[in-house]
Amino acid sequence: MLAGVIFDFDGVIVDSHPLHLQAWKAFLLSQGKAVSDAELSFVQEGAKREEILRHYLGEITPQQVGRYGDEKDKLFQACAHETKLVRGFAEFLAQLDAIGLPSAIATSGSRRRVEQALDMFNLRTRFRAVVTGEDVVQGKPHPALFLLAAQALQVDPSCILVCEDAVAGVMAAKTAGMKCVGIATDRGSLLKEAGAALVVENFAQTSLDDVRRLFGQTRP
């Protein structure tokens, strides 16, 4: 039975990927590394910030990770006001709230940035827990983020639905023993192959009743 929902953040709650790609591209260029749009696709795969930095810049020190991460965040914050919620998310969350179904966020993003965005949309109090890449050693596709969020919800993993937009995130949910809905505009087949039980373009294309059926439920 569905007893809790865990949401990834970027690309699931907020439509922020274009802004992140723009910020990463500008940051990497400032470091003398020009990357194509295809090469930037790694940014969308749910890796932690330090993993992204090392993917493009090679081995760097922890101090550099912190400094470079701050520089990239400043570039993102310059355009963060353009961020919008993913279509249908507010309505889907309202359906969960209406029946008292607890929800959490599990994201590889930084806590400061995530909480700033939640404040911007007045969403911070709507989630029982926010787990970020800063709370775990291993990022997605390791299931640590989702398992930590499940502990915070006090819900068995088998009764949790994960909403994800990255292959690594879908794999993490599957490894954690959770069912997953993939949110994808152009990579739906990849999410399905990774183990998503249902793939939709956005939350306007699904409902609480739809996801309940994934757990064999036909009514509350």
pLDDT of 42-71, one tens digit each?
887 777 889 999 999 999 999 999 999 899
Q: Which ranges of the chain would DSSP assign to H, the alpha helix?
A: 17-30, 49-57, 62-77, 89-98, 111-120, 144-153, 167-175, 188-194, 208-213
185 and 92 assigned to the same domain: yes
Distance of CA 47 to the CA centre of its chain: 10
146 and 57 assigned to the same domain: no
Q: Which residues contact 59 (CB under 8 A, 6 or more apart)?
A: none
105 inside domain: yes
Which pair of structure tokens corresponds to residue 181? Answer: 């809905």
Is the whole model's pTM more than 0.95, yes or no?
Answer: no
158 and 59 assigned to the same domain: no
- 62: domain range? 17-81
Task: Answer yes or no: are the C-beta atoms of 20 and 43 closer than 8 Å.
Answer: yes
Q: Does the pLDDT at position 220 exceed 60?
A: no
pLDDT of 182-196, one tens digit each?
999 888 899 999 999
Burial category of 212 from C-beta neighbours within 10 Å (exposed 0-12, middle 13-18, buried 19 and up): middle
157 inside domain: yes
Cα Rg of the chain, angstroms: 17
Task: Answer yes or no: are the C-beta atoms of 132 and 152 closer than 8 Å.
Answer: no
Residue range 170-180: mean pLDDT, rounded = 97
102 and 192 assigned to the same domain: yes
Q: Does the pLDDT at position 30 exceed 80?
A: yes
* Nearest residue to 133 via CA among 154, 149, 118: 149
Q: Does the pLDDT at position 218 exceed 70?
A: no
The dihedral region occupied by 35, where left means phi > 0, alpha psi between -120 and 50, and beta the remainder, is beta
Looking at the 3D structure of the chain, how many domains does it have? 2
The pLDDT score that the predictor gives to residue 150 is 98
The CB density around residue 35, as the number of other CB atoms within 10 Å, is 16
Task: Answer yes or no: are the C-beta atoms of 191 and 185 closer than 8 Å.
Answer: no
Report d(CA 71, CA 76) in Å as an integer. 9
175 and 114 assigned to the same domain: yes
The pLDDT score that the predictor gives to residue 48 is 83
116 inside domain: yes
126 and 74 assigned to the same domain: no
59 and 167 assigned to the same domain: no
116 and 204 assigned to the same domain: yes
Q: Does the pLDDT at position 178 exceed 90?
A: yes
Residue range 104-124: mean pLDDT, rounded = 93
Report d(CA 64, CA 56) in Å as an integer. 13
Give the residue from 81, 99, 127 where a domain finishes.
81
95 and 142 assigned to the same domain: yes
21 and 119 assigned to the same domain: no
SS3 state at 216: coil
116 and 163 assigned to the same domain: yes
180 and 132 assigned to the same domain: yes
User: Residues, the chain, total?
Assistant: 220
Give the residue from 81, 99, 128 where a domain finishes.
81
CATH number of 130's domain = 3.40.50.1000
- Whole-angstrom CA distances from 47 to 57, 158, 166, 169 are 15, 24, 10, 9
